Amino acid sequence: FSLTQPHSVSGSPGTTVTISCTRSSGSIANNFVQWYQQRPGSAPVTVIYRDDRRPSGVPVRFSGSIDRSSNSASLTISGLQTEDEADYYCQSYDGSNHWVFGGGTRLTVL
């Protein structure tokens, strides 16, 4: 299966942006989705795990959800801050223990 994300999104400080992640086959609800933030030159960091849970230390401005009707997951960042500018990746897996990343979305804070 594959995970499709928009190449880029943008927003002004203080606004809300949403990044989608659409699963090509198999139900999005059957396997948990994770979201990672990656800044240039750094390793990825988990911002959402298990579809909608935030690790300690991640601001409440970050939230995750899944939508069975569109077979997709979403990462929403509210109250956008300049420090949120980064690449974001969704990730999931299948019953054969094959793991997949989305192509990544570049978030630009205008």
Partner 1 sequence: QVQLVESGGGVVQPGKSLRLSCVASGFSFWDSAMHWVRQAPGRGLEWVAVLAYDGSDKQYVDSVKGRFTVSRDNSKNTVYLEMKNLRADDTAVYYCAKLQAAGVSSWGQGTQVTVSS
**Site residues, partner 1 (CB under 8 A):** 31-32, 34, 36, 38, 43-46, 49-50, 55, 87, 89, 91, 93, 96-104
Nearer to partner 1, 46 or 78 (CB): 46
Q: Minimum distance from CB of 68 to partner 1 (Å)?
A: 19
DSSP string covering the chain, please? --EE--SEEEE-TT--EEEEEEESSS-TTTS--EEEEE-TTS--EEEEBTTTBPPTTS-TTEEEEEETTTTEEEEEE-S--GGG-EEEEEEEE-TTS-EEE---EEEEE-
Q: Minimum distance from CB of 12 to partner 1 (Å)?
A: 26
Nearer to partner 1, 38 or 71 (CB): 38
Q: Minimum distance from CB of 89 to partner 1 (Å)?
A: 5
Q: Minimum distance from CB of 78 to partner 1 (Å)?
A: 21
